Amino acid sequence: METVGKQKLWSFLDHRGKAKATTCTTVRKGDAQLVTSYFELAKKVAELQFLNRDFVLVFRGQSGDYRNKSGNTSLKPSIMRANDATKVPTPNQLLRRYARLADAEKSLMAHYRKGNTPGSKRLRRQMILRWSLLQHYEICKTPLLDVSHSLRVAASFASDGGGAEGFVFVLGVPNLSGAVTASAEAGLQVVRLASVCPPSAVRPHIQEGYLLGEYPEMTGVDQKQNYKHYEIDFGRRLVAKFRFEPTPFWASSSDFPRVPHDALYPTADPLLGLAETIKNDLGS
């Protein structure tokens, strides 16, 4: 039996090979570690999962490493982002965003009832499930952050923008159980999209999508006043970050090919039509 509170965070801080004991702030402030192939990335993530055994690792792919005003990697939910990562949304912006989110929830529930879509009862009862669909199908800004349980999917997303570099962020979350995992200790909820969306909605299944949210939910601007902006940042769950040049990275990874754009965003998904309908309901 280990003494409580003795867990360390292990990460890669330089290019010398092995992971070292460190802090989340050091990881956020440091540079992303360069990897040259998917196999190299997968081996480093395997080492991280072995050393950080108290966490389940999930992944997020981006085209850049966006920093807050303190110079730390910032991974905020869409509703809390400003155009410049060093700034925060104004109170009026947050009021408008939460009002739009509430309208989108109402529209989603109305269309779910009308279409007799599987899972509508759960959707009506749990706000975070409604937010999950609205976030994943990019209907409006929400307090949730998209991640994937698949390292290859995250690396493919990081390459999807056609930029010179891709970034993969590794986040540590509590042990996952069921459709929604809530941890009061971590102040975190993790939603497994495959358990939320109907089986005909293939996109979240292919992407092996999960969503991270605060626990308890950040239900509105009034509750947000109890938190500082830096607290509503999933960079606080960052275990490691990697960067790569997409063309040579995938060229040297023939056994692990990149997931193409059309596969990440399949058009044969009935919820796409629903998403467009709700967007039209919301207007500009």
Q: Does 1 reside within a domain?
A: no
HSE-up (13 A, CA, CB side) for residue 179: 13
Cα 143 to Cα 123, 163, 209: the distances in Å are 17, 27, 16
How many domains does the chain contain in total? 1
Judge contact between 162 and 189, C-beta under 8 A: no
pLDDT at position 2, please? 59
Look at residue 163 in the predicted model and tell me its pLDDT.
Answer: 85
Q: Is residue 2 part of a domain?
A: no
Residue 234 belongs to a domain: yes
**Is 17 a member of any domain?**
yes
Rounded Cα distance between 7 and 67, Å, is: 27
Transcribe the chain into DSSP letters.
-PPTT---EEE--SSSSS-EEE-HHHHHHSPPEE-SSHHHHHHHHHHHHHH-TTSEEEEEEESS--B-TTS-B----GGG--SSTTS---HHHHHHHHHHHHHHHHHHHHHHHHHT-TTHHHHHH-HHHHHHHHHHTTSS--S-EEEES-HHHHHHHHHTT--S-EEEEEEEEPPP-SSEEEETTTTEEEEEGGGTS-TT-HHHHHTTEEEEEESS---SHHHHTTS-GGGS-GGGGEEEEEEE-HHHHHHT-TTSPPPPHHHHS-S--HHHHHHHHHHHHH--
Domain range enclosing 89: 9-282
In a domain, 61, yes or no: yes
In a domain, 4, yes or no: no
Note the pLDDT of residue 31. Answer: 95
Q: What averages of pLDDT result for each successive group of 10 residues across the chain (284 residues)? A: 69 85 95 96 96 95 95 95 88 93 93 71 85 94 96 96 92 90 90 85 88 84 71 94 96 90 89 91 83
The pLDDT score that the predictor gives to residue 271 is 86
Residue 72 included in any domain: yes
Q: Is residue 3 part of a domain?
A: no
Residue 200 confidence (pLDDT): 76
Q: What is the pLDDT of residue 220?
A: 72
**Nearest CA-CA partner of 157 in 271, 265, 77, 84:** 265
pTM equals: 0.93
